[in-house]
Amino acid sequence: MKKPSSKIRDEIAKLQEQLKAAETREAERIGRIALKAGLGDIEIDEAELQGAFEDLAKRFRGGKAATNGGKRGGNAGESSASSTQDAAGAAAGGTAEA
């Protein structure tokens, strides 16, 4: 039996609300960790920060984090960890985009 489109729209709206709540919980969790680590005051370009997050995600997913040779160069691991946690702190404060 087929569902009417209005019911499908209602289900989509509920799922979007659940997704937004889950993303908020995740951002707050990461932000708390960053603040505990003392990384709330680090200033970094948003594009560089996103790259650091991507490297960190690859590291924990078992992939090999790539260095882009840019500002982070040879110490990408050090820059990646600190800048990633700083972004999380900003997200917890509601200033970063999730």
pLDDT score for 22? 98
pLDDT score for 67? 54
pLDDT score for 44? 80
Lookup: tokens for 53: 């997050």
pLDDT score for 64? 65
pLDDT score for 41? 79
Residue 8: C-alpha distances to residues 3, 22, 50, 66, 68 (Å): 7, 21, 34, 41, 43
pLDDT score for 13? 98
Lookup: tokens for 24: 């908020």
- Show pLDDT as tens, one digit a residue, over the chain (98 residues): 788 999 999 999 999 999 999 999 999 998 898 789 777 778 888 788 788 889 988 999 987 655 554 444 444 444 444 444 444 444 444 444 44
